[in-house]
Amino acid sequence: MALLALLTLPACGQNKPSTSPTNYDRLLRTLYRNTVPVVQPTQLAATLTQKPGTVVLLDTRTPAEYRVSHLQGAQFVDFDSYEKNTFADLSHDRPVVVYCSVGYRSERVGERLKALGFKDVRNLYGGIFQWVNESRPIYNAAGLTTDIHPYSALWSSWLDKGRKVYE
């Protein structure tokens, strides 16, 4: 019931929910199963800067979302077909960070990776929305961008930064 209230407020013409940690964290607590450990955006950004190339980033959204923007160096994994994916091209020994818009879909992909024997799988806490809201860079085929696919009009209320682009 709390999730429904959090998600429908903007749709009912109420005030836009804040992306303050309290409200966003509350939303994420209702979505996450806690089956895949999370990594905070600050921690991931530090690792990507200090040890470039050591982490495999997997963007688990739709093709349209990925085309609009993604984390630099992220590989696309289509959420609609991840259950059939064996991820044979990835090393089971390298750290893997999965992400989607807020972390719900990526947690499912993370569960699949763990079931396949991947040793170090993390879910980006708050997904690409949290990454963007913390003013971290995102990219598309042309390079650095501020464009972000908000998944849907309903979910877009959790994005405070970036230019919302529906493709």
Domain positions in the chain: 2-10+18-164
Distance, in Å, from the CA atom of 65 to the CA atom of 67, rounded to the nearest integer, reads 6
Instruction: Return the CATH number of the domain spanning residue range 2-10+18-164.
Output: 3.40.250.10
Whole-number mean pLDDT of the chain? 89
What is the model's pLDDT at position 128?
Answer: 98
What is the model's pLDDT at position 22?
Answer: 62
Exposed/middle/buried for residue 120 (C-beta within 10 Å: 0-12, 13-18, 19+):
middle
Q: Across residues 55-83, what is the average pLDDT?
A: 97
Q: Across residues 52-77, what is the average pLDDT?
A: 97
Distance, in Å, from the CA atom of 40 to the CA atom of 26, rounded to the nearest integer, reads 16
Interior CA angle at 67 toward 62 and 71, to 5°? Answer: 90
Residue 15 pLDDT exceeds 60: no
Please spell the DSSP secondary structure of 44-78, one letter per residue.
HHHHHHHSTTSSEEEE-S-HHHHHH-B-TTPEE--
